[in-house]
Every structure is written in C-alpha cells, then in structure tokens.
Structure 1
C-alpha cells in the first residue's frame, strides 16, 4: 500500500499554494512511511508516499521515461512487471530501476490511455504528459486501490484517501447524504458519491482525462465486466478438467502476488479461501511463510482451532494469533471509521484492523488474503437462495 495525491490548476499554470501538497502527503503518511516524493511544475503538484515492496533501493517516485516527457506517481503493484520490462527493453526502451512503477511511463509513450488495458495488477495512477500539459488519473479494473477526487472552483485535487483532500485546506468537510445512504442500503460504497459532499470516488476500470488548458475533466471507461450469454458459457463438461484449470489459474495468480523484495505472509482463518491461498503459497515458496489469525473470545465465533488445523495439514508454522474481545469492536470503532472514511456496518472489520496492526508489529509489510473468493465462486448464501428461487 502506497499513497498518491495531487493538485491541478484548471485555469492556467498558477503555482499550487505553498504547503498544500506537503500537507496532503503528511495526511497519508501511514500508507507509505518509507519514502516521500514530489513533482512540482507550473500549474500542478503531485506527491507520493511509498511503502517499498519491489525495487527497495531504486523505486523513488515520481518516475519518468528517458526524456522526462512523461511523469508518474503510482499506488499499487503490477504483477507482470518483470515480463513487461523485458518486452519494453526489446523495443529499445531504457529502464534503470528494478521497480514496477518504471514500466508505466514507458508503456504510456507507446499506448497513452490504452496503457491501462495493458497493466495487470492493482493500481491508482496519475500520469503527467509534460509536452501536452495534460494529466490522466486511472484506477484498476476492480477498484482495489482507491482514488478520490474533487473539483474546487478552478482547482482539481486527488488523493488515495479523503483525509488527504481535507488536509489541503482547499476542501471543506460536509456530509453527502447520498453516500451515507449507500452505506446503510448496500453495506458498501460503490461510488462515485462518497460520504463527503463534492468528493468523488473514481469508478473502477475508469480514468479521468484532465486538460488544464481547456479546464475540462472527462471520465472514460477503459474496461467493463462482461459475462457470456446463456448457452455461450465454457463448453467444457468434464468437472475434473475444469477443476484442474481453476487450480492452475489460481496457482499462477498466487505466484505473481508472491513477487516481492520483502517477505510475504498470509491471513489464515481455517476457512476454504484463506487455507487454499496459504497452501498454494507454501507449495510455491516453502512452508516457512508467516500466517496470522484472530482469536475471538466467543467460542461460537472463534476460528483459531480451524486455523491451527489448516496450518498443520498444510505443513506450515502455527499462525501468529491476535486476540479480539467483544469490547474491542466498540473501542476501535472510531479508529475504524477514520480508516474507512465512512460508517462501517460490519464490525468484523475491527478484528481485521487489529490483525493488520499485529502484522505491522511483526515487521511484515505484505500479506495474502482470501478476499474476493465468495464473490467470484458464489460462496455467499444469497447465491444459493437465488438458485433455489
């Protein structure tokens, strides 16, 4: 997790007011405590807070291409950067670091906005085309990396968290009842509205084109989710072959996410999703991986026994345990809201927040999780209810 922020003048090339971009950067320090970098040019300023995971010694941002005509700040991780780097080098590009960020400005030289389709990973990106004096903000297909933006008069501001926008001193915190209604209706914030008036969440799979000279801001979709029509599904009817294909796909996905210059751990609840991820990670990297789990003081909810059984079956170390009491949910709720920047309906998130703190205390930066499996593999009970109905 890193963080980005920026301010863009939509009425010319005025200097960004003194201290604004620095305050925005400090507000998201927790996202990237390892390094801080700034890009300042007539009419704009960008900031990056870096959590160093790949290219530890040479991944400082902003990062550019050979002649400095394309500048980038980036939050996320690109899982195929090694292959992309080799492809770019074969076409004559000169790359000088080991960091995944560096492939972005070079890809932008070749493909401009179509670069987003060529990226594989999770990302929130700000690209500055120096020669054209244009800025593009983009977000990954599923919105794993957040990116918020707001237009305040003749200024456009963006940041990885809303608190970064508020720290600028140019954005007033006012409630947006539409966003609050979404939380209590859907138990989620699909966007683009948020709980803060005038602050938008960039839609997953979309990018913003910003032309400061014209003062225009336009949003475009570069990717949308698609499903086959009835009858056009995968024609394979051999369940064994389908299971083998799914396993190979998942194993390749885990392998890509284990690419890091720091140790990678994993959450382990003892459930199917996290256990499968840990088993695949151990198959690829060996059994020494650190795993983390929560011990709840309610025996009906506690999953420690299942996590221990999974670890033993997989052959890895017993999980590192974080205790969580019922009172913790209430005590941590203000901290949880500050992190989420919205009301939180599912109080189990407090346990995850505390578990993340334990990971940090253990000196680890990266963990794998089983998040998203229920969405893709129809694990939630309402999928089964819909099937029956």
Structure 2
C-alpha cells in the first residue's frame, strides 16, 4: 500500500515542474512514510510514497523494465506475484527486485492492457510506455485502491487522494452538485463522481489511456460483475459442492493476503465475516497473530462477548480498543480530511481508532471482512425484497415512483432504500432557494448511476447484490470507511471476500443458497461451521448505529454551533437556513429521538457537509 501521483502532458511538449510532483508527494506521506521515489521526463512526472510491505530493501518505485522504456508506479498489492514471476522468468524476463509490483512491467511488455486479466490483487497503477509516449491508469475490480484524476488545459493530473491534486494551481476547488445530491440520496458518491467538480474517481474495473500529442483520453471497462440472466442455463450443483469451493477459494484468498514481509493482523468485530477470516488464518498457519476489536462503552453497542469467544479459541494477541461516544466527535474533522467527502455515519472514527492501535503494535497490514454481505445476501434488505415480492407491495407504488425507479435502476419494481419521491421532497426542503432553482440540473436521478444492462433480467437477489457493490461497497465501505481510515495511520487493508477468483465463483452460486428461507448468508454460514464457534454463526446480525446528530447537538460543541450558525448557512448558500434552524430546534428537544431503522438523519448530513466545506475551504455558491 502506498501513495501515487503524477502529471502527464497530453500536448507532449511542456516540461514538468519538479516541485509540483514533490508537493503532491508531500501530502500523501501518511500513505507511504517509509520511502519515496520519483521520475521526471519532458512530458510526464511520477511521484511515489512507499509503505514497505514486500521486499523491504529493494522494492521502492518507480520500477522499470529491462531497457527502461516501461515504467510503473502502483498503490496496492499483486497477490499472485510469485506465480506470475515464475512464468515471466521462464520467458526470459530479467528481474531486479523481489517486489510484487515488478511483475507488472513485464506482463505489460507481453500482453499490453490485457495484463490486467492476469492479476489477482488490489491496485491503482500508472504505466508509462516511452516508445508510445503514453500513459495507462488502471484500478482494481472492486475499487479497493483509490485513484483520482482531472484533465485541465492538456494536463492530466492523478493521485491516490484528491488533496494531492489540490496542491496544483491548475485545480480549482468547487462543489460538484451532482455529487452532493448523491451524498444526500445514497450511501456515498458513486464513481466516477466525487464531491469536487471536474475531479473524477477512476471507476473500479476501469482503465484510462492517454498519449502525448493527443488531447483526448480513452476510458475502458475491463471487468464488471455480471450475474447470470434468469433464462441462462447454469448447472446446479449440490450444497456440499458450493461449500467446498467457497472454503477452498476463501482459504486461498486469505493465503494470498497474508503474503508479506511484515506482520499481518486482522480486525475482529465479533460478527460472522471477520470471525471466519481470523479462524481461517489460524487454520492456515499457527503463527500467533494480533487481532483488534472496538469495545464500545455503551453495552447496547458492545460486541465484547462475541469477540472474546473467538479470541479465546484462537489464542491470538487480542487488543480491545475502548471507544467512548465522545471519541467520535473528537475525530470527525480528521475523518472528513481523510475521506475528502462528507460521510453519513460517524462510526468511521472507530475504524480510525482501530488502525491507530494496530500501527502502534507494529502492524502494517490488516485483514477485514468487507464484501461478504453484498455477495452472500447478508443485509436485511435482501429479506425485505422477498417479503415485498410475496406481497406485491411494490405494485402499490405510484406511477411516478415507478418511473423514477425505472430511470435509475432500469426496473420499476426495484426499491433500493428510500422512496425517490419522498427523498426528493425532503431534499428540496433542505436545499437553498438557489439550489432548488436549478435542481433538475444536478438531481442524481437525471445522471447515469449504474450499468442497467447488468441489472435487467437478473434474479432479485443478484440485482441488489450488483447495486450494493456499486453504490455501497466500492466507494463507501472499502474506500472511505476502510482504506482512508486505515491509511490515516499508514496501515494497509486487505479484503479476502473481494478476491477475483472467489467473486467469479460466487456469481454462479444459486440465489436460494445465499438467502434460504429468509436466512441470510446461508451457504457461507454452512461453510463457516467447520471453523467458527457456533455462538457466532447463530447470533443475529448486528448493525452498529453510531450516535447521530441529536447527541452531537445536545453536547453543545462550539465547532458545531459555528458550522450551523444561521449566518454561516445563509452565506454558504447550499441550505435553507430557516429549515436548518427548524431541524436544530426539533433535534434538541429532549423528547425527540430518531428511529434508526426508519428515519434519515438529515441534520447529521448537513453537519458533515458543512464540515467538509470548512476542511477543504470550498467556496460558497
């Protein structure tokens, strides 16, 4: 895990200012405090910050091929690099290090952009081909590694984090209103959208190609999750077959993700996914590893009991990190700085605290359980879909509501979270008069969100899985909730459920093995029985709901009062200042409480958005 940055002149003849590369590298130091490197040529410059994990002595980047005409910088890990290296050595390629990233330059020599199909890893990379005077950017299939870019006046700038782009005088700070509307409507912004106008997030499974002397860049998708069509004939196998294959592939994924020249630890929440990962780690190796858990002071939120059951079975070094509700508020500004966007939940700060503890214990690599819920029908919404289908409840929706669902998802009967009409009404009450005057221009439903061809004609479980991966997992759970919070402490996150071979197999598992008689993650639970204590498998799914805006407002923090002052809200121009005052008064009422499973905490979103504006010195409307 590292931080990459670069500048490429599509005009092909302007010189790169070395200081601009160094400025980008400096703000990425938290992603790579161990070493740095750069490469400057007439029409491009590359910058690199290193978090040393594999080949600690000679694995610094940029890395070149034998004659120096191909050069790569990469943020992430190539998990199957040992197997790829053996193939490449037999073909006569010469290696100068034991770095996993060095396989990329030689694969590119042989296969061009098709080399991406051979990689099992998590990565954001840039490859320079000096013979073609070209650059290729690429991001892994699930967006584990971030990669942002902007194209201004013939200059392509890219980096692992937006704050590196903001160091360049060509880049303007301006709120992307479509991104803002996505934030208020969905779990997070969705690639390629960000909260910054004209700054894009290279979408997962995509590559970008540019040549010096050619002003236009080319975007391509090289992979996407493609579930079987309902009328597609796929051989149905026995339950034991799917269990055995999931076990085999998940064990291999964990084996790949424990490859490192430093100690590898794990987060343990006490739920099924993280418990299965740490138990499989034990099955693969008797090494005594370090695992880390959050212990919330509020017993209602605490999973201490289940964490202890797993930790005692494994006899690992278990670090329980006490976390008070006040700790959330104290870290919010740092959370926003690292996510580079407002967030809807305040619990990101707990992940940040865990990462800091891991780093203090000498751990640079952490395995976590993200991805399981989206792939194995693990959220309650998968059950709710089935209930609604059985009762034909979606048929009762208005024609206008169905029209909006069809426009966004391609299916008039698919409901993701909130009703679109109610959501639109709520947002228009919150947005300022100025924003309401141009609402249709930035209304997220008027801008393509996902590839509807991957939703049409699929099973309802597969429809939700695809949308969850695109809308919830990729740009939220593995990005702002995981990568950005871990890298704030220079810790790399690895995600065994997001292994390309495992996911390609999971797409073939029949839906009723995922949700069986309304039992979520059925086939995964059956697989886990061999490894995980029964108490973990049989427990109800736990969803932590961090304290929301009523708690923050009642604490009377000066910084929140300043953010939400009538004058500040009015001056910035994004929100209706009178409506914000009304909400503040309502939420401060001692008798008021949010129904966490029903109510949307708009006040918290307003607080987070205002904190984002302050943190990044964004202009008023």
TM class, shorter-length: over 0.9
Shift of 1:231: 5.2
Distance 1:11 1:242 in 2: 53
What SS class does the counterpart of residue 101 from structure 2 fall into? helix
In structure 1, the residue matched to 2:382 is 383
In structure 2, the residue matched to 1:349 is 348
In structure 1, the residue matched to 2:362 is 363
In structure 1, the residue matched to 2:325 is 326
Shift of 1:233: 6.5
2:159–2:165 contact (8 Å) kept in structure 1: yes
Higher mean alpha-carbon deviation, 111-120 vs 30-39, is at 111-120
Higher mean alpha-carbon deviation, 13-22 vs 118-127, is at 13-22
Shift of 1:153: 1.3
What SS class does the counterpart of residue 52 from structure 1 fall into? coil
Which structure would you say has the larger Rg? 2
In structure 1, the residue matched to 2:611 is none
Shift of 1:236: 3.6
* 1:53-202 alignment runs, 5 A limit: 53-202=53-202
User: Residues 242-262 of structure 1: CA distance to partner in whole angstroms, max 9, x if unpaired?
Assistant: 212211111111111111110
* 1:238-253 alignment runs, 5 A limit: 238-253=238-253
1:24–1:164 contact (8 Å) kept in structure 2: yes
User: Residues 41-79 of structure 1: CA distance to partner in whole angstroms, max 9, x if unpaired?
Assistant: 111100111111111111011001111110000011011
What SS class does the counterpart of residue 358 from structure 1 fall into? helix
- Between Structure 1 and Structure 2, how many residues are aligned? 388
1:312–1:318 contact (8 Å) kept in structure 2: no
Distance 1:237 1:193 in 2: 40
2:18–2:45 contact (8 Å) kept in structure 1: no
1:236–1:242 contact (8 Å) kept in structure 2: no
User: Residues 153-202 of structure 1: CA distance to partner in whole angstroms, max 9, x if unpaired?
Assistant: 12110000000101223312211111122122111221212101110000
2:208–2:218 contact (8 Å) kept in structure 1: yes
User: Residues 289-338 of structure 1: CA distance to partner in whole angstroms, max 9, x if unpaired?
Assistant: 1000001011010112211111112x222520111111111111111011
Distance 2:145 2:72 in 1: 16
Shift of 1:382: 0.4
In structure 2, the residue matched to 1:294 is 294
Higher mean alpha-carbon deviation, 133-142 vs 223-232, is at 223-232
What SS class does the counterpart of residue 142 from structure 1 fall into? coil
What SS class does the counterpart of residue 216 from structure 1 fall into? coil
Distance 1:27 1:233 in 2: 52
In structure 2, the residue matched to 1:271 is 271
1:295–1:302 contact (8 Å) kept in structure 2: yes
Distance 2:361 2:231 in 1: 50
Query: Structure 1: which 5+ runs fail to align?
Result: none
What SS class does the counterpart of residue 379 from structure 1 fall into? coil
In structure 1, the residue matched to 2:303 is 303
1:13–1:44 contact (8 Å) kept in structure 2: no
User: Residues 92-130 of structure 1: CA distance to partner in whole angstroms, max 9, x if unpaired?
Assistant: 111121101100010000111111111111000100001
Shift of 1:357: 1.0
The normalised TM-score by structure 2 is 0.61
In structure 2, the residue matched to 1:256 is 256
Q: 1:289 to 1:234 in 2, by over 3 A?
A: farther
Distance 1:330 1:21 in 2: 34
Distance 1:188 1:90 in 2: 46
What SS class does the counterpart of residue 274 from structure 1 fall into? helix
Highest relative contact order (Cα 8 Å, sep 6+), 1 or 2? Answer: 2
Query: Structure 2: which 5+ runs fail to align?
Result: 389-621
Distance 1:29 1:41 in 2: 23
| Counterpart check, 1:372 vs 2:376 | no
